Structure 1
Amino acid sequence: MSLNRLKETLLRCSNLHSATAGAALSSYSTRESLSQVPPPRKPPKSSLSQQLLRLDPQSLSVDLRFRAPNTRLEEEKTATENKEEGNDGPTTACVNRDTFLPQTVARGPYEPLVLSSPGEIPLAQVPPSINCRLLKHQRVGVQFLYNLYKNNLGGVLGDDMGLGKTIQTIAFLAAVIGKDSEHGAHEVDHVRKKGPILIICPTSVIHNWENEFSEWSDLSVAVYHGPNRDLILGKLESHGTEILITSFDTFRIHDKILCEVPWEIVIVDEAHRLKNEKSRLYKACLGIKTRKRFGLTGTIMQNRILELFNLFDWVAPGSLGTWEHFRDFYDEPLKHGQRLSASERYIQIADERKRHLVTVLQKYLLRRTKEETIGHLMLGKEDNVVFCAMSELQKRVYKRMLEQPDVQCLINKDLPCSCGSPLTQVECCKKIVPSGIIWSYLHRDNPEGCESCPFCLVLPCLIKLQQISNHVELIKPNPKDDVEKQKKDAELASAVFGADVDLVGGNAQSESFMGLSDVEHCGKMRALDKLLLSWTSKGDKILLFSYSVRMLDILEKFLIRKGYCFSRLDGSTPMSLRQSLVDDFNKSPSKQVFLISTRAGGLGLNLASANRVVIFDPNWNPAQDLQAQDRSFRYGQKRHVIVFRLLAAGSLEELVYSRQIYKQQLSNIAVSGKMEKRYFQGVQDCKEFQGELFGICNLFGDLSDKLFTSEIIEMHEKQGENSTTLIRPFNPEIDYDNFPKETSKASSHAKSDEMTFFCEDKNKLQDLGIVYAHRNEDVVNMGPGLPEKIVTGATHEEFADNTSSKTRGNSSKRIYKMDRLSSEELKRNEFRHIAHGMGMEELKFSKWVLSASHSQRIEVLQNYKKKKQLI
């Protein structure tokens, strides 16, 4: 075919297509009315940023977890603008409140977030596509990270879980690398060559990091994990990737290879893993050759103040001096100043060191809580600690366990030896326990004992006591253990069951469904049974946590027997199925309970559809229990979250919880500079002041004849030392959203009503098997932090001078201020009375006022005036 004939053929095809298309268009036009042609739009009255948001559909893709919900006022305003502009379609400000999680929208101006100082080259800015989706506190976090980076320093982003540490990090890296897909890269002359970036995180969140990078940016990311490590390393050497993600275990094993790379920035997710300076991971991280080290963690300190030194000495070497200096200057004074009987001098020294430590830490740490950042977007959380009476069987078994030779050896270790020697028992004849069942198994290969005898028995004996506190079935042999251990566990079970061995179905693991699901022999399950019945009847959804997989098995049988619809997630659940389980629970109204292992719950699980959280067994580390609570108390939660920690009264678990209080208070003091109540005589890691918390004798003490925790708290309340809070009564059937929280400064009338309420509900608590309960926030006094002047580095003298100069003001001004305050106080009291009249807290009533219509507010005000006139 010639070229001319080909052109003619193509021309005929083109004309035919045009004619066909024209006919179709003509036919379509005849079928449609002219009224459907949109009229010319009026000039828009919205802001430029809102117009840009409407024009950019990509900016509507927002992470569900970090979207700020619009208020009703904003929705009405946007609807009015749309009507005026002739736009009836959905806009970015619309919120579908019928679904559980709000629809994703952009919430900020569509413009970059400039991090650089004026005139600074190269320009560092967060791309508009990321900045428009950040919350206010997230922008502050990005600026904090960049300021440290600019000054060649490292630091810690210590936001609570659920506040978007991952997103803030990605926004920061996008600004540092300088890639902006929408506006092109920065000017070539201004771009400097940077090295790659390393992110070290737990294995369980590697894919979460990958997904977040793909969702929020177009940065080049590779994962150094699994069989393709060599290929990834070659890609890194050829500058084919900008960010490398690896796990803790992989980095620990291949640290020599990775530490040879000249990293620009190193980021450690869950940085509290660096708390132990003796761990191999910590030593491996010390070999990283860069000063720009950043840590991400919501639990900066978990067990000891010295953990702060290890973490900050890695992110900012030398920032807290030497280890010996930190121990002597900060650790010891803070611990001794928190002792109940500490002298005034110790308290003053501790206060000075606390202020100094917070001043130093604030240079490298940004610590924010949910209450401080997004608290106004949530209805709050209440943490109840419930002490359940053990069953009679549990009490007998617990007592027999304390009478075992292994435990008695530890209890009597400091008593004089019975052989007449001047030495103590642990130094003489009772160093080994050949008659002990646990000891003989531990030393089956060395009958002469080990170097740590008899203290090698402490952990195994503690585990047995904790198992009895939860369920007697747990001390029976585990079929997954080796045969020798099963035999010894069966022997121990027979010894502690004694005459009750037939009552529990023998000393072997029971397979009886009805026996395991029966609540008769477990005090906690008895209380849980009645609580679940009350909650599910009201439509509540429950998260049920336990660190023991065997306990989860028993609870699962219990839920099946009671007919509850539930899901389950533990360490055996494949990672690929976990998110689908979470989504199914959140979306399905029929799912009532979610069984989760505290240890295998994973990170980033958003279970905000649940408004009740039960922690069946406490952990020595308070951070574990607090993270479990945050599975529900996350951004997107629409209901008030109430937590129930179940403890076995008179058991080791009371001591576990008291240690949690102690650790939480030390963390609040050292990290945030808060004022905390002083409850305990004990001082951690100090043999001279073991008090009621520390030492082996306290661990294995018999607490069955007293309420250990309640006696300590009530004694403190009677003394009235630094106490501004009245321990409020606990009632599982009360909606705590509507329960007024009075302080000790409240009127005597409110107090008497509260005491009457408590007396009326004693019988209800006894029916539930609850002997004592309180709210954790009332005990752990999350008091105010340091004054702003002190936090910024002021000395005691400067603070005192400022205070005295303020008090030397004009007397007339002081009188006017007092009159104004009294007027404001009257208004607050009036507001409080109206809120209580509606059965609401002040905070909840404030939110109701903002969301209520004008007629509703007028009606409430008129009703209040009528009641006031009758009085």
Structure 2
Amino acid sequence: MILDEGHLIKNPSTQRAKSLLEIPAAHRIVISGTPIQNNLRDLWALFNFCCPELLGDNKVFKEKCENPILRGNEKKASDEEKRVGSDVAKCRGPITLEKAMLNHIVYFLELRECIQPFFLRRLKSEVFREDDGEVAKLSKKSELIVWLRLTDCQRQFYKVFLNSEMVRSSFDCSQLPALTNLKKICDHPLLLTKGGMAEKLLMHIANGERDKFQETSDRISCKISFTMSLLDKLIRDGHSVLIFSQTRKMLDLIQASLLSRGREYLRIDGSTKASDRIKIVNNFQEGTGAPIFLLTSQVGGQGLTLTRADRVIVVDPAWNPSTDNQSVDRAYRIGQMKDVIVFRLMTCGTIEEKIYRKQIFKGGLFKTATEHKEQIRYFSKRDLKEIFSLPTEGFDISPTQQQLNKEHDHQVKMDESLRSHIEFLNTLGIAGVSHHSLLYSKTAPVQVADEEMEGR
């Protein structure tokens, strides 16, 4: 049995996963570009399907492997926790925990060595070869985080919503509705249509901002305003562009702005018939269709080859980092001959900044668990929990950008074309740029236990 997009069985409690496990097969193969999407139990589920019992029971795996790696991956982890997390991932055998960490001996699963014989990881650079066996020249991919400042209208909505009853009540029940509305404000306040939320918030907003909200101008949304300005240059310079959003409604607003400017576009979302999708993709790839392609991340982010595009705009970040990565890989895949630039739009001081920090944390977990090197611990759990709070440094500054620049600025090497392009971005009133491509490019110093610690 061979499963493509095998990460779809990451939840073993779903009917899909249970049904597949019941099908008898002498050999099982899972193919996935994103084996870990949210936590290490995703990896456990895939191996439980392919190699039952290799990583033990789900509960045991969580207690003896996932939890120590999680603790050791935090920025504020103690030296002992970092050492334990490192040893767990590297499988250095039985580790003695200090008293503060349950005061008993835990024998950790030898994660990396266990999975190594059954885990084949191939990079594009390893399979992209000429017929004669020599390595072909890969096109380059530059991923930029473009930090945007909320418009005055968005700031008003954001502040008012944080003081709303929905946010206050979310501490006692599900936080998902409140989180979703915060994300909508970062995209465009007009997305707050369910239950008359926009009208309720408008009652608490100054008259001047109410007037702006009634306008159809792009100035209401920093993302649409930036995207339109960026497209003006990209299309003028002859580029083809993919624009991904999590929601159809945001694509509707982007589409309306394109139409108002007389720009042609193609589009695929959940309402597009399967037969129509093939025609639209072919029109784009063959160059007969418009150079702007609008897609929802869930529908357009998997399985499609869209190598005509050499620019990708990810309008809003997903909690699951693999969702955004899959979107980027529609353009940057085998067959792409042009250099690709990715623009990930992020608003300063908002929930999006916290989503991005969560993405980085999850990405570090994957590399810690599967590669023989320790990742920089960028953020602590406290950083990830401060969701419903106004930014202490305001909406004009991104603490994440400052931290990433401090960590990686000295590594930045740009050719003249990319440097010139970033200079152009800075003329559009953005808060700054971070180089997403440099994440995990440095390893953390290995934590060496002293004699006293080893003697415990």
What is the TM-score normalised by the length of structure 1? 0.45
Give, in whole Å, the separation in 2 of the partners of 1:708 and 1:363.
49
**What's the CA shift for 1:570?**
1.0
Per the alignment, do residues 707 and 378 of structure 1 end up closer, same or farther by CA in structure 2, a change over 3 Å counting?
Answer: farther
Q: CA RMSD in A?
A: 2.8
**What's the CA shift for 1:601?**
1.2
- Residue 303 of structure 1 is aligned with which of 12, 31, 38? 38
**What's the CA shift for 1:709?**
8.6
- Residue 157 of structure 2 is aligned with which of 389, 393, 397? 397
Give, in whole Å, the separation in 2 of the partners of 1:455 and 1:708.
31
Give, in whole Å, the separation in 2 of the partners of 1:373 and 1:672.
19
Give, in whole Å, the separation in 2 of the partners of 1:404 and 1:579.
45
**What's the CA shift for 1:716?**
7.0
AA at the equivalent of 2:441: N
Aligned residues: 419
Per the alignment, do residues 729 and 521 of structure 1 end up closer, same or farther by CA in structure 2, a change over 3 Å counting?
Answer: farther
Give, in whole Å, the separation in 1 of the partners of 2:366 and 2:265.
36
**What's the CA shift for 1:376?**
3.8
Deviations 1:236-288 (A, max 9, x none): xxxxxxxxxxxxxxxxxxxxxxxxxxxxxx22221111211322222223323
Structure 1 position 359 matched with structure 2 position 113: yes
Query: Is the Cα–Cα contact under 8 Å of residues 349 and 398 in structure 2 kept in the other structure?
Result: no
Q: Which residue of 2 aligns with 1:568?
A: 267
Q: Which residue of 2 aligns with 1:341?
A: 76
Q: Which residue of 2 aligns with 1:383?
A: 143
Structure 1 position 474 matched with structure 2 position 195: no
Query: Is the Cα–Cα contact under 8 Å of residues 157 and 201 in structure 2 kept in the other structure?
Result: no
AA at the equivalent of 1:693: L
Give, in whole Å, the separation in 2 of the partners of 1:782 and 1:558.
41
Give, in whole Å, the separation in 2 of the partners of 1:302 and 1:502.
42
AA at the equivalent of 1:579: I
**What's the CA shift for 1:715?**
4.6
**What's the CA shift for 1:525?**
1.6
The structure having more radius of gyration, on CA atoms, is 1
AA at the equivalent of 1:404: S
AA at the equivalent of 2:121: R
**What's the CA shift for 1:735?**
1.9
- Residue 306 of structure 2 is aligned with which of 607, 614, 621? 607
Per the alignment, do residues 464 and 497 of structure 1 end up closer, same or farther by CA in structure 2, a change over 3 Å counting?
Answer: farther
Give, in whole Å, the separation in 2 of the partners of 1:730 and 1:472.
36
Per the alignment, do residues 708 and 353 of structure 1 end up closer, same or farther by CA in structure 2, a change over 3 Å counting?
Answer: farther
**What's the CA shift for 1:496?**
5.7
Q: Can you give the 5+ residue segments of structure 1 that lack an aligned partner in the other structure?
A: 1-265, 414-453, 478-484, 506-514, 683-690, 740-756, 787-871
Structure 1 position 503 matched with structure 2 position 212: yes
Deviations 1:680-726 (A, max 9, x none): 121xxxxxxxx1103xxx121112734799434645775xxxx6762
Per the alignment, do residues 704 and 342 of structure 1 end up closer, same or farther by CA in structure 2, a change over 3 Å counting?
Answer: closer
AA at the equivalent of 1:464: N
**What's the CA shift for 1:602?**
6.0
- Residue 65 of structure 2 is aligned with which of 314, 321, 330? 330
Structure 1 position 273 matched with structure 2 position 8: yes
Deviations 1:116-166 (A, max 9, x none): xxxxxxxxxxxxxxxxxxxxxxxxxxxxxxxxxxxxxxxxxxxxxxxxxxx
Per the alignment, do residues 521 and 700 of structure 1 end up closer, same or farther by CA in structure 2, a change over 3 Å counting?
Answer: same
Kindly report which structure 2 residues correspond to 1:439-454, keeping only aligned pairs within 5 A, or say none. Answer: 454=172
Structure 1 position 532 matched with structure 2 position 240: no
Secondary structure of 2:313's counterpart equals: strand
**What's the CA shift for 1:647?**
1.2
Q: Which residue of 2 aligns with 1:774?
A: 434
AA at the equivalent of 1:711: P
Structure 1 position 549 matched with structure 2 position 222: no
Deviations 1:721-748 (A, max 9, x none): xx676264999xx622x88xxxxxxxxx
Give, in whole Å, the separation in 2 of the partners of 1:674 and 1:492.
51
What is the TM-score normalised by the length of structure 2? 0.84
Q: Can you give the 5+ residue segments of structure 2 that lack an aligned partner in the other structure?
A: 92-110, 129-134, 447-456
Query: Is the Cα–Cα contact under 8 Å of residues 292 and 315 in structure 1 kept in the other structure?
Result: yes
**What's the CA shift for 1:325?**
2.8
Secondary structure of 2:117's counterpart equals: coil
Structure 1 position 373 matched with structure 2 position 142: no
- Residue 387 of structure 2 is aligned with which of 699, 715, 730? 699
Secondary structure of 1:699's counterpart equals: coil
Give, in whole Å, the separation in 2 of the partners of 1:780 and 1:303.
17
AA at the equivalent of 1:540: H
Query: Is the Cα–Cα contact under 8 Å of residues 654 and 708 in structure 1 kept in the other structure?
Result: no
Secondary structure of 1:352's counterpart equals: helix
Query: Is the Cα–Cα contact under 8 Å of residues 212 and 220 in structure 2 kept in the other structure?
Result: no
**What's the CA shift for 1:360?**
1.1
Secondary structure of 2:299's counterpart equals: coil
Give, in whole Å, the separation in 2 of the partners of 1:552 and 1:766.
25
Give, in whole Å, the separation in 1 of the partners of 2:28 and 2:397.
42
Per the alignment, do residues 582 and 466 of structure 1 end up closer, same or farther by CA in structure 2, a change over 3 Å counting?
Answer: same
Give, in whole Å, the separation in 2 of the partners of 1:358 and 1:403.
46
AA at the equivalent of 1:633: Y
Query: Is the Cα–Cα contact under 8 Å of residues 727 and 774 in structure 1 kept in the other structure?
Result: no
Per the alignment, do residues 393 and 354 of structure 1 end up closer, same or farther by CA in structure 2, a change over 3 Å counting?
Answer: same
Give, in whole Å, the separation in 1 of the partners of 2:221 and 2:138.
35
Secondary structure of 1:382's counterpart equals: strand
Give, in whole Å, the separation in 2 of the partners of 1:305 and 1:289.
26
Give, in whole Å, the separation in 2 of the partners of 1:727 and 1:397.
38
Query: Is the Cα–Cα contact under 8 Å of residues 494 and 501 in structure 1 kept in the other structure?
Result: yes
Q: Which residue of 2 aligns with 1:463?
A: 180
Deviations 1:323-356 (A, max 9, x none): 2332233212211111223233322222222123
**What's the CA shift for 1:548?**
1.0
AA at the equivalent of 1:651: T
Query: Is the Cα–Cα contact under 8 Å of residues 337 and 346 in structure 1 kept in the other structure?
Result: yes
Give, in whole Å, the separation in 2 of the partners of 1:554 and 1:780.
35
Structure 1 position 492 matched with structure 2 position 200: yes
**What's the CA shift for 1:502?**
4.0
Query: Is the Cα–Cα contact under 8 Å of residues 566 and 593 in structure 1 kept in the other structure?
Result: yes
AA at the equivalent of 1:595: L
Query: Is the Cα–Cα contact under 8 Å of residues 37 and 322 in structure 2 kept in the other structure?
Result: yes
Deviations 1:390-432 (A, max 9, x none): 111110111111111221344xx5xxxxxxxxxxxxxxxxxxx
Give, in whole Å, the separation in 2 of the partners of 1:729 and 1:473.
40
**What's the CA shift for 1:671?**
2.3
Kindly report which structure 2 residues correspond to 1:203-352, keeping only aligned pairs within 5 A, or say none. Answer: 266-352=1-87
**What's the CA shift for 1:659?**
0.6
